[in-house]
């Protein structure tokens, strides 16, 4: 069992830097939770407070129902894996993994069993006699993981563990860590600034910005129902397009972009929420995948947009199309076809059943 609960946890550094502002997070036993957000949003500080490496200024941290605020890091039954691996260069892989257990006075047999078991899980058995300098980045990261695994902690904490790896290895290690989570059946808390990592790895994602938690949800929920404009723009790649405009009421409710170059009727599902915004400014959010090529669009209810393509970016099986609506740079992610070139005028379809609208003042989502 390892349930981690943060209740109104804040961190103020010297000179009044409010790094974390009343964070409330509930992490269930065996859950894999990702803290994600741009650099400086307070993710590492949150993780370090859980580990006990940083004092909690205000609020309470519970692990398995026990208040941890004043418990020393070594007594929290937590293991942390860092970005820089933090391996001892003069020790072999075996010694690096065994070190923490030796300090805790485990006997030789137990240490040997645990190191062998962990190296087996991680596929590094042949490397046990090597020193870190004779390892690749990916292998070093596995040793760092191994060092955490041998301790059989209640909670694993990861601070951007894959940032130093090249893109291909990062993708591979992502899957390995996710597999490790299901194999070990432990609670894991993972910090990253990379939304793709967050979306592909975690059961639950906590999105932070400027010390605040903006939304906590499953990856799919965040993608489908972002609570505000920040979350909407942060999750998804390429990012959601935003178009400013207003809601007008003619024979029906309509969205009208500022330059009048996009006007379409609001579908019934958004009607009641948007009727409060008649003649008010709102921001429309459209995911690049919800703009389609006309010939591939089945639905009659889609809205046709005539656009002039600025740039056509082939990605293999897909193409990214860049164009402008009311001076906003828009990107559409469509199926690859051959006849699209820069400067061409084409018809695109806007899936008007998959839109997002945001209040211009609060930036909160009006509807999903």
- Residues interacting with ligand ADP, by CB under 6 A? 13-14, 17, 19, 37, 39-45
Cβ closest to ligand ADP, residue 146 vs residue 211 = 211
292 Cβ neighbours under 8 A, 6+ residues apart: 302, 332, 334, 348, 349, 351
For residue 5, what are its two tokens? Answer: 């609960």
* Conformational region of residue 60, where left means phi above 0, alpha means psi within -120 to 50, and beta covers everything else: beta
Q: Which residues pair with 342 in a beta bridge?
A: none
- The verdict on whether omega for the bond into residue 238 sits within 30 degrees of 0, i.e. cis, is yes
**Shortest gap between Cβ of 156 and ligand ADP (angstroms)?**
17
CB-nearer residue toward ligand ADP: 159 or 176: 159
Of 52 and 245, the one with the shorter C-beta distance to ligand ADP is 52
Q: Which residue has the tokens 């951007």?
A: 160
Residue with tokens 């059943």, as numbered in its chain: 353
User: Shortest approach of ligand ADP to residue 85 CB, angstroms?
Assistant: 18
Q: Shortest distance, CB of residue 145 to ligand ADP, whole angstroms?
A: 20
- Complex with ligand ADP: residue 19 or 68, whichever CB lies closer: 19
Are 97 and 115 in contact by the 8 Å Cβ rule? The answer is: yes
In angstroms, give the least distance from the CB of 164 to ligand ADP: 16
User: Rounded to an integer, what distance in angstroms lies between the CA atom of residue 150 and that of residue 115?
Assistant: 6
44 vs 351, which CB is nearer to ligand ADP? 44
Name the pairing type of β-strands 318-325 and 311-314. antiparallel
**264 DSSP β-pair partners:** 255
- The residue among 42 and 226 lying less far from ligand ADP, judged by its C-beta, is 42
Query: How far apart are CB 38 and ligand ADP at their closest, in Å?
Result: 7
Measured from the CB atom, the residue of 45 and 257 that comes closer to ligand ADP is 45
Q: How far is the CB of 40 from ligand ADP (least distance, A)?
A: 4
Considering the complex, state which of residue 42 and residue 52 has its C-beta at the smaller distance from ligand ADP.
Answer: 42
Closest to ligand ADP by CB, 144 vs 208, is 208
C-alpha span between 264 and 302 (Å, rounded): 9
In our burial notation (b when 16+ CB lie closer than 10 A, e otherwise), range 70-94 reads: eeeeeebbbbbbbbebebeeeebbb
d(CA 81, CA 4): 18
Report the alpha-carbon distance of residue 253 to residue 280 in Å, rounded.
12
Q: How far is the CB of 173 from ligand ADP (least distance, A)?
A: 20
The string of DSSP letters for 31-85 reads: -EEEEE-STTSSHHHHHHHHHTSS--SEEEEEETTEE-TTS-GGGS-EEEE-TT-
Sign of CA dihedral 98, 102, 104, 105: positive
Smallest separation (angstroms) from ligand ADP to the CB of 205: 14
In the complex, least distance from residue 10 CB atom to ligand ADP, rounded to whole angstroms: 12
């Amino acid at each position: 069992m390892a349930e981690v609960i943060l209740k109104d946890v804040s961190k103020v550094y010297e000179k009044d830097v409010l790094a974390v502002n009343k964070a409330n997070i509930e992490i269930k036993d065996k859950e894999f939770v990702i803290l994600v957000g741009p650099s400086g949003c307070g993710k590492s500080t949150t993780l370090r407070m859980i580990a006990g490496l940083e004092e909690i200024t205000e609020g309470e941290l519970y692990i398995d129902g026990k208040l941890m605020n004043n418990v020393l890091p070594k007594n929290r039954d937590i293991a942390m894996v860092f970005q820089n691996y933090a391996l001892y260069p003069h020790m072999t892989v075996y010694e690096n993994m065994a070190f923490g257990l030796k300090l805790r006075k485990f006997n030789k047999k137990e240490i040997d069993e645990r190191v062998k078991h962990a190296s087996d899980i991680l596929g590094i058995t042949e490397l046990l006699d090597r020193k870190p300098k004779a390892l690749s980045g990916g292998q070093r990261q596995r040793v760092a993981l191994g060092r955490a695994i041998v301790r059989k902690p209640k909670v694993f904490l990861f601070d951007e563990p894959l940032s130093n790896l090249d893109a291909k290895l990062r993708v591979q290690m992502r899957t390995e860590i996710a597999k490790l989570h299901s194999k070990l059946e432990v609670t894991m808390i993972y910090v990253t600034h990379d939304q793709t990592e967050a979306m592909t790895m975690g059961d639950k994602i906590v999105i932070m910005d400027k010390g605040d938690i903006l939304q906590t949800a499953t990856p799919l929920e965040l993608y489908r129902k972002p609570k505000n404009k920040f979350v909407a723009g942060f999750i998804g790649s390429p990012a959601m397009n935003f178009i400013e405009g207003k809601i007008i009421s003619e024979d029906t409710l309509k969205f009208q972009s500022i330059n009048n170059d996009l006007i379409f009727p609001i579908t019934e599902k958004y009607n009641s929420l948007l009727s409060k915004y008649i003649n008010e400014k709102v921001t429309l959010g459209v995911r690049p995948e919800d703009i389609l090529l006309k010939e591939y669009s089945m639905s009659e209810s889609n809205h046709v947009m005539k656009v002039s393509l600025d740039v056509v970016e082939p990605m293999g099986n897909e193409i990214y199309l860049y164009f402008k609506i009311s001076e906003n740079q828009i990107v559409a992610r469509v199926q690859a076809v051959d006849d699209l070139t820069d400067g061409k005028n084409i018809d695109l379809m806007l899936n008007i059943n998959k839109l997002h609208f945001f209040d211009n003042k609060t930036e909160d989502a009006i509807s999903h």
